[in-house]
Structure 1
Amino acid sequence: MPAEPTTPKGRRTRDHLVNAGRAVFARNGYVDARMSDVAEEADISMGGLYRYFKNKEDLFAQVIEDLHQRLYDASVARDHDFRTDPHGALIEANRGYLSLYNENRDVMRAFIQAAHVEDRFQQIWRHMRERHVDRFTAALEKVHGITQVAGTNARLATESMACMVEQSAYVWFAKAEDHLSAVDVDTAARLVAHTWHRTFFTD
Structure 2
Amino acid sequence: MWPCGLQHRARAANNICFYGECSYYCSTEHALCGKPDQIEGSLAAFLPDLSLAKRKTWRNPWRRSYHKRKKAECVGGALGRGLWSPASPGSREGWFLPDLQQRTSRGSRPRQTVWEVDPDYCEEVKQTPPYDSSHRILDVMDMTIFDFLMGTSRAPGLPGNMDRHHYETFEKFGNETFIIHLDNGRG
Q: Which has the higher helix share?
A: 1
Same fold flag (TM > 0.5): no
Place the TM-score, normalised by the shorter chain, in its bin.
under 0.3
Point out which structure has higher relative CO (alpha carbons under 8 A, 6+ apart). 1
TM-score normalised by L of structure 1: 0.22
Task: Please report the TM-score for the alignment, with normalisation by the length of structure 2.
Answer: 0.24
Q: Which has the higher strand share?
A: 2
